[in-house]
Structure 1
Amino acid sequence: MLPGGYSAVLQARNRDEFRDEVVRFTQQLGFETVSAVTMIDHGRGKCDLIMVDNTPTSYAQTYGDAASGKRDPVLQHCRRQTVPIIWNQDTYVAHGVGDLWEQQAQFGYRTGIAMALHLPEGKHFLLGVDRDQPLPADPHELQRVVADLQLFAVHAQEAAMRLLLPVAQQPERPALTPRELEALRWTMEGKTAWEVGAVLGISERTAVLHINNAMHKLQCVNKHQAVLKALRLGLID
């Protein structure tokens, strides 16, 4: 099973649970605020934005200002790049928009890390975390924080696509049999095929057959990938 917040965000059952897990992970990582944005690009300048965040109420209107967004170097980086950006006051000053940093710094947005996942069919997922205190000075510690955030972003976007997108835009859910789902659930718990068979009262060979069938239906190359996809699609929890 995935450790801590990674598995918890995958298993979120609704928007509120998703937000709670995103905020909890962010704060455990040492950041006060977070924004998780799911974007669907329809072309010709039209797009849908679904935001989950804990932005302070006093800053919410300014935070969502479109004109400021077009000037914000962090947001512009995320729109074009997949490499995370580590930002602070110098980032804004270097782009000639130090006034934006001064404005947001009053609300605790003094430094942070942001990244984007650009997916097929015009879907994008942006994750940004912010804080008032400087980031770790030790490059190894900072690298670990970025890596933790990147891994979390991958799992968060899986949950976001399942929970936040309109039903018509969600991926199709394969029809797995009750036995196939049971085999995946026990596989998720770390059971071998022999142990799955013992729990379900079937032979090891039959357990392997159920797991392989589930993998095939989910279009996965191994049982661990199948468990992750089944979690993402809400087939198991």
Structure 2
Amino acid sequence: MKFSILTLFPEFFNCLIDYSIVGRAIKESIIELETVNIREFSENKHGQVDDYPYGGGPGMVMQVGPIYRSIESVRNDNSKVIYLSPKGKVLNQKKLIELSRENHLILLNGHYEGIDNRVVENYIDEEISIGDYVLTGAEIPSMVLIDGITRLIPGVLSSEESYSIESHYSGLLEYPQYTRPQRFNGLEVPEILLSGNHEKIRQYRIFQSIKLTLENRPDLIDKSKLTDIEKEYLKYLESERG
């Protein structure tokens, strides 16, 4: 998997080289990261890539020319161009899994008041948002995308189980986790986790996932994926909430 990051701040991504799982994936050549400075494709001797918006309004807009040329400098037949934008569809685990199967992702990072919409209409394959809020630029959203995708690529984590139990992967939030010591400030680890009964522990964790999801993200629950006993437990929890 190759990530080509089109940005005004290429140095922003240097930290990824030594960052946890992503850094290891880079060192082991499982993923490749390249940054492209959009300013290098400006036709202005000062490297200017923005201008005032037609029709008036506050701020500046990134020009179509430098962005188009930066895209074309790295695009090939296997490329998918993604524009990180608050106007895009909100990122979720399903989308990360889908993108992890791509060979080459070009991540366009906008700034100022956005980019010339001719780029969006003609040179972008997909527009993605990481949430319903606005950030200064798209560098942090790009990092989110890179991190979320990289951990799904075969060979990056030790086994499929490492991510298959995590929040959102199965449609439920991950169950609570505990480690030593067993007792801290009078707070105990749930006794069932110490029982050694793996089947009971598995069922307990599923119930905890259902409970946590219902409390925090009920929109994620897909009843068609639950067993009969899990549906009964969900029904009980819903009745308890009134």
Shorter-normalised TM range = under 0.3
Higher RCO (CA-CA < 8 Å; seq separation 6+): 1
More helix by share: 1
TM-score (norm: length of structure 1): 0.26
TM-score (norm: length of structure 2): 0.25
Give 1 or 2 for the bigger CA radius of gyration.
2
